[in-house]
Amino acid sequence: MPKTASDPTDFPTACIVLADGTTFYGNGFGAPGLIQAELCFNTAMTGYQEIMTDPSYAGQAITFTFPHIGNTGINLEDDETVDPVARAMIVKWDPTEPSSWRAEQTLSAWLSKRGRIGVGGIDTRRLTRAIRQQGAPHVAIEYREDGQFDMPALLQHARDFSGLEGLDLAKDVTCTQSYKWDEQRWAWPEGYTKRTTPGKRVVAIDYGAKRNILRCLASAGCDVTVLPASATAQDVLDQNPQGVFLSNGPGDPAATGAYAVPMIQGLLEKSDLPIFGICLGHQMLALALGGKTLKMNHGHHGANHPVKDHTTGKVEITSMNHGFAVDGHSLPSGVEETHTSLFDGSNCGIRVTDRPVFSVQHHPEASPGPQDSYYLFERFAASMADA
């Protein structure tokens, strides 16, 4: 039987090796195995299930800075996609038995069933400092029940990892065919409900879309049709949409832009459709408008990021998950920077000054504020009504 974090041993059963040779030993839980990844840290206190299943984390292992991960267990409603996408999770305290009326299974059992590695007993403060200093290091992580690690091989695995720059990962997490979406946001006491009245026709391009983004679109009055990331401008227009949504997703935006940018530019040339983008969708829109993107040192990953909306002067507490960013200085004439991070001044939003086309880097559907940024979905719906 797979070992869990509740089955203590007198030797470490998990090992984390950074490409510079820095090594951490801990207690493995979930599924035994060996992975290579880019290492990031996430500061959120809740939502570990949603984070692990967010397609934007493809190719990454996540260090959680909040120590008590696993205490609310796992339920079948909170997955953002079918299976965990992040390659591994690293925590300070070994997960305990869950204490939540919604819990259906333990975190360790869920990871084991889904084939993902967990590592507990790690000094996550020290590891987070290493990430900040080195800038999203490459790592090899192994969980072995016998604790017998080939350290030179693990170090070579870490050094052999190619990293995320130049990688188009959207193609790995996008849907393979189009589908309709009508599920709305969770609400007490009904839970998730379905749209039953006609709404604005929206085509959502799936670069790795989170389910809760699609729910927010439905709750804002949209009839959503989801198309794969490879969809062309004509594929979109054939749906006769009233608006187009560009989803979140993983990888290097410049790589995904090889096919996404021509599609968006085609829409901008052939129609006056309202367009709204989030995360990778924001970066795709910026590239299509003539801007540039860049790799960040360690990215923004968490649920406590203050962002200023320069169109209103208000500050929003947002959720973020991105290792690449739009270069605000590269935006051409006619494209306005609307939001910036109050942590480092990086770009967090843009809009075209004479068209209903806008996007944001942060995740309004994650509700960390909790409703600070939901107005963006309403703004998108209003732009379709005005059109």
User: What pLDDT does residue 7 have?
Assistant: 53
For domain 170-386, the CATH architecture is 3-Layer(aba) Sandwich (3.40)
User: What pLDDT does residue 9 have?
Assistant: 62
User: Hey, CA dihedral for 167, 276, 50, 24, is it positive or negative?
Assistant: positive
**Topology, domain 14-160:** Glucose Oxidase; domain 1 (3.50.30)
Phi, psi of 174 (to 5 degrees): -70, 160
* Distance (Å, whole) CA 249 – CA 208: 4
User: What pLDDT does residue 5 have?
Assistant: 45
- For the chain, the farthest-separated pair of C-alpha atoms sits apart, in whole angstroms, at 66
Asked if residue 204 lies in contact with residue 226, where contact means CB atoms within 8 angstroms, the answer is yes
User: What pLDDT does residue 334 have?
Assistant: 97
* Distance (Å, whole) CA 150 – CA 349: 46
- Which pLDDT tens digit goes with each residue over 339-376? 999 999 999 999 999 999 999 999 999 887 788 899 99
- Which pLDDT tens digit goes with each residue over 131-157? 999 999 999 999 999 999 999 999 999
* Distance (Å, whole) CA 294 – CA 316: 24
User: What pLDDT does residue 368 have?
Assistant: 79
Asked if residue 311 lies in contact with residue 337, where contact means CB atoms within 8 angstroms, the answer is no
Domain spans in the chain, listed from the N-terminal domain onward: 14-160, 170-386
Name the pairing type of β-strands 314-326 and 335-341: unpaired
Q: What angle do CA 183, 367, 358 make, to 5 degrees?
A: 80
Measured between alpha carbons, how far is residue 114 from residues 15, 31, 87, 117, 274 in Å? 20, 8, 11, 9, 38
Catalytic site positions: 279, 363, 365
* Distance (Å, whole) CA 174 – CA 111: 22
Phi, psi of 309 (to 5 degrees): -90, 105
Mean pLDDT by 10 residues, the chain (387 residues): 50 97 98 98 95 98 97 94 96 95 96 98 97 96 97 98 97 97 92 93 98 97 98 98 98 98 97 97 98 97 95 95 97 98 98 98 89 93 92
User: What pLDDT does residue 377 have?
Assistant: 97
